[in-house]
Amino acid sequence: KAGVTQTPRYLIKTRGQQVTLSCSPISGHRSVSWYQQTPGQGLQFLFEYFSETQRNKGNFPGRFSGRQFSNSRSEMNVSTLELGDSALYLCASSLVIWGEGTEAFFGQGTRLTVV
């Protein structure tokens, strides 16, 4: 069974640009959550999608957005990149909504560097 696939693995962008990250969940999983991981702040929740609907959103500015497609694949977009957006972006997939105690599986992440 294939795991969670995130593409690309590494990305270097310039301030002011925008970026789109992709996450393919485990087959059959309908929930995808996105997290930003930085050394100082740990894992910060961005948003969760379930059956193409955003279920929950963290405290990030509107420059961070996401969507989920009918095949459960998800994308997140960051517009007008800032240096502080440099981080590891992780997505996690679960069978149902993660907060209901079901196990979630993380991808390896996309390392975004903003210069």
Partner 1 sequence: QQQVKQSPQSLIVQKGGISIINCAYENTAFDYFPWYQQFPGKGPALLIAIRPDVSEKKEGRFTISFNKSAKQFSLHIMDSQPGDSATYFCAASGLEDDKIIFGKGTRLHILP
Report which DSSP code applies to 26.
P
CB of 43 to partner 1, least distance (A): 4
Q: Does 83 bind partner 1 (CB under 8 A)?
A: no
Q: Does 78 bind partner 1 (CB under 8 A)?
A: no
Strand order in the sheet with 74-78: 5-7, 19-24, 74-78, 64-68
Coil/strand/helix, residue 85: helix
CB of 107 to partner 1, least distance (A): 5
Would you call the peptide bond into 8 cis, given omega within 30 degrees of 0 as the criterion? yes
Candidate residues 4, 26, 76, 87; the one interacting with partner 1 per rule CB under 8 A? 4
Give 44 or 65: the residue with its C-beta nearer to partner 1: 44
d(CA 32, CA 47): 8
Q: 47 is written with which tokens?
A: 């948003």
Candidate residues 21, 81, 104, 112; the one interacting with partner 1 per rule CB under 8 A? 104
Residues forming the site for partner 1 (CB under 8 A): 4, 33, 35, 41-45, 48, 55-56, 58, 90, 92, 97-101, 103-109
